[in-house]
Amino acid sequence: MTADRDTETQARSEERAVTRVWILTLVIAVGSAVLIAGSPLLGTSLRAAPWWTVVLVALGYSLSERLVFHVEYRNDALTFSISEVPTAFALIFLGPLPALAARLVGSLAVIVPRNRPAPHKLCFNSGLFAVELALAYFVVGAMVGANPGSDIAVVVAVALATGLTTLVSLVGVSAAITCFRGRFFPTLFEELRTASTTAPIATLAAAMAVIPVLLDPRLAPLGLAPIWLMWLVTMQHGRLTQRHRDLESVHDLSRTVNRSLHLDEILADALPSITDALRADRASVVLIDPEGNVAAQHHVGGGVDADGSPSDPIRIEVAIADAGGQLGTLAVEGRSVAATVFDEADRKRAERYADQLAPTIRNAWLYEAIEHSALHDGLTGALNRRGFDAAVEFRLHSVVDQPGEYAALILDLDRFKEINDTFGHHIGDRVLIEFAERVRSVIEPDDLFGRFGGDEFALFVHRSDPDAVRRLADRIISDSHDALTIDEYQVVVAASVGIAFARPGGEDAAQLIRRSDIAMYAAKRTHVGFETYRADMDRRTPERLALLADLRRALDGEAITVHYQPKIDIASETVVGAEALVRWEHPTAGNISPADFVRVAEESGLIRQLTDQVLCHAVRSVSEWVAQGFELDVSINLSALDLVDEELVERIESRLDEFDISNEYLTLEITESSLLVDTPRTLATVERLVESGVRLSLDDFGTGYSSLSYLRRLPAQELKVDRSFVSSLMLDQQDEVIVRSTIDLGHHLGMAVVAEGVENEPTLARLAELGCDLGQGYGISRPLPNTRFERWLRTTPYAVRRSDSHRDRIVALR
Ligand code: C2E
Ligand code: CA
Ligand code: CA
């Protein structure tokens, strides 16, 4: 709608501008006719010349239109032609009418086929030629009339007159531009400013060209010398500056576009730089999908005609393509600023920009695909558990201090299992789809909607007050009492809903969702429809407190240990490193999963101590391995809170120093979600770490949300595909797509890709085919205490990298 209205208004104002140009043309034409009619030189010329001089002058004009000089001077791109030279000859050897004829025929013969100007532009230019010549003849007639014989007077008059033609043409052009854009004086001033460099040169060239001919016509070739010289200088200068500028702008472009992995952001950055660099009016990128259909269009400076003719001299269209095929096209159009058309050099530059864009666009697509399929449920299109958790986490961290209430709701269908058993999975799936549709119709566009597998759904909403949230739950429940019609069946699926409100002052998504889950079970138990979470529903809290006390004791003693799980270079089947995984054997509860107690450590501030102990173990182990001739790296896991600690870098460096271990033996694994916490500080810490020489690995890749822009900014050397995708690689088509795309993306970004969760030999073989660099998982070895790990190193059928082996043969690592 608005776009239509915009184009309409634009078209109307353009029409008015064209009318103004016609009026201007008329004024100019009448003015020049009057001047020429009154010229004292009408029907004669200053010096006699044979008839064919008019042909030479016409050729001179043609040549000067073709021979356009480009010079880069300071920050300006100057473009000028030397039509002053043929004008100088015309003023001396031709009368005004033959001169005008030579100008029109000579110049238009070049301009018309090249620029294909619109009628108003053509007539305006012709009028401008006429008025330039008319005024020049007027000046020459007035000055030389007094001294008809003096060559000096002729040269001076010609120089002044050609100078004047330049000035007149500037005023004329500015007036024409004003018809379109308004603002006459600023335009004129700008034109004068550029001309102040070029006009004197052209005038001088013209004056110097005519002097030899005035002395003796046989000296004519001498007159060409200054033009030739000028041509040489500008060509040389032009080539140098052009090369310099090309490099600079291509470099700039790659810097801007690589900042993001969002297509919109990439193109919003790239297109203006491309139009600027090519001095074009408009640019557009049209992306096509593998079937060849238009997938998206982006443009700046107004639309570019999709069907513009490729041979249009003020249009360039180049393909954006990479080894994987064509991704789209880049088109630039229009040059109202520079008076030239696009040439071969411009096309080459456009191609270079397209080449720059191709890998970036490819990466953005890969990321989009990964992000989407990794985070969504295939059946209902809602977020999957992973996607929902991550999105809630992101919201909780990014939208702080908003008035109103944030709440998570868990919706569970009652008796869904019965439906599945009675009607079959096919109908069961349809029920889930229909139910999801119903929920979608009552929520707001900004609400998050997820499905946690089976018949459990979740919402994350923002409402003005708690009652609005409760009304939403009520609505969903009462809607669910209406039967769904599926084929010939009428199916009723009542829902139970649990609500938990986000607590001010930060809690994580998992906690919030867990609380709404508890509320949902309470609702189910009591058949009340929906329940809101209350602390007394949660019986696990005291247990957690006990755990915390025990953990504190464990950290003070020796109960925290570390296990090592080997990482192999897949292509060479060589063990190249190990991941350190923390272990805690609780005196009564037995082994507690790090997934559980790491959280407790984070919440209680004990994480710093925990990380320190793991780091100390890991670095000591590396020194033992090295002493035994094994050259293995070690990876440790950092928690989000470690990254906020400003002393982290010092802590790590002092540990490495203590055992005299070089920094590049240590890899720090960080998760995408930890990057969401306190971003600027986190990024600063990460940058300092990488500067210090330790390696960085992005753990659990594919499970995060909206962190893609960090990915590009992050100086990580390694990417770990999350084990949930890898372990089902051979079973699930979607997971294979994710793993393959992640490997591609990692390689595009120059990272080594690690697959974790490799549970068997076929998975490893498939990963080798997909070009994955490193593998880790139960299929290779379970995590082992160090003594057993060292025994494993000596007995494993895999090769183990040794200090004497050629490190550089294992390319995947660096
Ligand atoms: P993670 O960093 O993704 O570590 C890999 C986890 O996958 C380990 O679980 C490992 O035992 C398990 N794993 C390895 N191979 C396979 C496989 O083939 N199949 C399957 N299903 N699993 C496999 P673990 O040791 O229980 O650690 C769980 C998580 O706890 C880790 O996930 C990490 O996020 C965290 N964690 C472990 N140690 C530390 C630590 O020292 N500090 C911090 N901050 N977090 C740690
Ligand atoms: Ca890890
Ligand atoms: Ca992991």
Q: Which atom of ligand 1 is nearest to the CA of 565?
A: 14
Q: Considering only CA atoms, which residue is closest to atom 11 of ligand 1?
A: 783
* DSSP-derived 3-state class of residue 273: helix
Ligand closest to CA 720: 3
Determine the pLDDT at residue 280. Answer: 82
CA 139 to centroid of ligand 3, rounded, Å: 85
CA 697 to centroid of ligand 3, rounded, Å: 10
CA 111 to centroid of ligand 2, rounded, Å: 67
Beta strands in 191-349 (DSSP E): 282-288, 294-300, 315-322, 325-333
CA 776 to centroid of ligand 1, rounded, Å: 11
Best residue among 581, 606, 611 to mutate for probing ligand 1, ranked by most atoms within 8 Å of CB: 581
Q: Which atom of ligand 1 is nearest to the CA of 720?
A: 3
How many residues make up the chain in this entry? 814
d(CA 413, CA 453): 12
CA 508 to centroid of ligand 2, rounded, Å: 20
Determine the pLDDT at residue 441. Answer: 94
Best residue among 723, 724, 759, 774 to mutate for probing ligand 1, ranked by most atoms within 8 Å of CB: 723
Q: What does the angle CA 252 – CA 256 – CA 260 come to, to the nearest 5 degrees?
A: 160
CA 632 to centroid of ligand 2, rounded, Å: 17
d(CA 555, CA 610): 7
Q: Considering only CA atoms, which residue is closest to atom 19 of ligand 1?
A: 757
CA 700 to centroid of ligand 1, rounded, Å: 10
Q: Which atom of ligand 1 is nearest to the CA of 593?
A: 26
Place of tokens 């060849």: 292
Place of tokens 């459990």: 456
Please, what are the averages of pLDDT over each run of 10 residues along the chain (814 residues)? 58 81 90 86 81 91 78 56 85 90 92 82 89 89 76 86 84 80 78 76 82 83 77 67 60 64 83 82 86 78 58 81 88 72 83 87 83 86 90 78 87 84 85 94 93 91 93 92 82 89 80 90 81 76 72 88 97 97 89 85 86 96 94 94 86 94 94 68 83 92 64 82 90 86 88 96 96 97 97 96 58 35
CA 755 to centroid of ligand 3, rounded, Å: 9
CA 392 to centroid of ligand 1, rounded, Å: 23
Sign of CA dihedral 397, 398, 400, 402: negative
Q: Considering only CA atoms, which residue is closest to atom 22 of ligand 1?
A: 757
CB 113, CB 12: distance < 8 Å: no
Q: Considering only CA atoms, which residue is closest to atom 41 of ligand 1?
A: 582
Q: Considering only CA atoms, which residue is closest to atom 4 of ligand 1?
A: 581
Sign of CA dihedral 310, 313, 319, 320: negative
Q: Considering only CA atoms, which residue is closest to atom 27 of ligand 1?
A: 594
Q: Considering only CA atoms, which residue is closest to atom 21 of ligand 1?
A: 757
Determine the pLDDT at residue 70. Answer: 61
d(CA 180, CA 121): 12
Q: Considering only CA atoms, which residue is closest to atom 20 of ligand 1?
A: 757
Q: Which residues partner with 318 through β-bridges?
A: 330
* DSSP-derived 3-state class of residue 23: helix
Sign of CA dihedral 500, 506, 507, 508: positive
Tokens of 426: 């096919």
Tokens of 200: 């004197």
CA 581 to centroid of ligand 1, rounded, Å: 6
CA 625 to centroid of ligand 3, rounded, Å: 24
Best residue among 703, 756, 778 to mutate for probing ligand 1, ranked by most atoms within 8 Å of CB: 756
Cα–chain center distance at 462? 31
Q: Which atom of ligand 1 is nearest to the CA of 594?
A: 30
CA 699 to centroid of ligand 2, rounded, Å: 6
End-to-end CA distance of the chain: give it in Å, rounded: 54
**Phi and psi torsions of 443, nearest 5°:** -100, 175
CB 304, CB 332: distance < 8 Å: yes
**Phi and psi torsions of 697, nearest 5°:** -130, 135
Q: Which residues partner with 296 through β-bridges?
A: 287
Radius of gyration of the chain (CA): 38
pTM exceeding 0.95:
no
Q: Considering only CA atoms, which residue is closest to atom 7 of ligand 1?
A: 757
Give residue 397's region: left, alpha or beta (phi > 0; psi -120 to 50): alpha
Tokens of 541: 């809290």
Which residue, among 545, 553, 544, has the nearest Cα to 587 in the 3D structure? 553
d(CA 436, CA 479): 12
Q: Which atom of ligand 1 is nearest to the CA of 722?
A: 3
Q: Which residues line ligand 1 (CB under 6 A)?
A: 565, 581-582, 593-595, 598, 611, 614, 636-639, 669, 699-700, 723, 727, 756-759, 777-778, 783
Q: Which atom of ligand 1 is nearest to the CA of 607?
A: 44
CA 790 to centroid of ligand 2, rounded, Å: 20
List the shell of residues around ion ligand 2, using CB closer than 5 Å.
637, 669, 699
Which residue, among 92, 99, 93, has the nearest Cα to 143 in the 3D structure? 92
Ligand closest to CA 594: 1
Tokens of 335: 């040059």
Ligand closest to CA 700: 3
Q: Which residues partner with 562 through β-bridges?
A: 582
Q: What is the largest CA-CA distance in the chain?
A: 121
CB 644, CB 677: distance < 8 Å: yes
CA 718 to centroid of ligand 1, rounded, Å: 17
Ligand closest to CA 701: 3
CB 652, CB 615: distance < 8 Å: yes
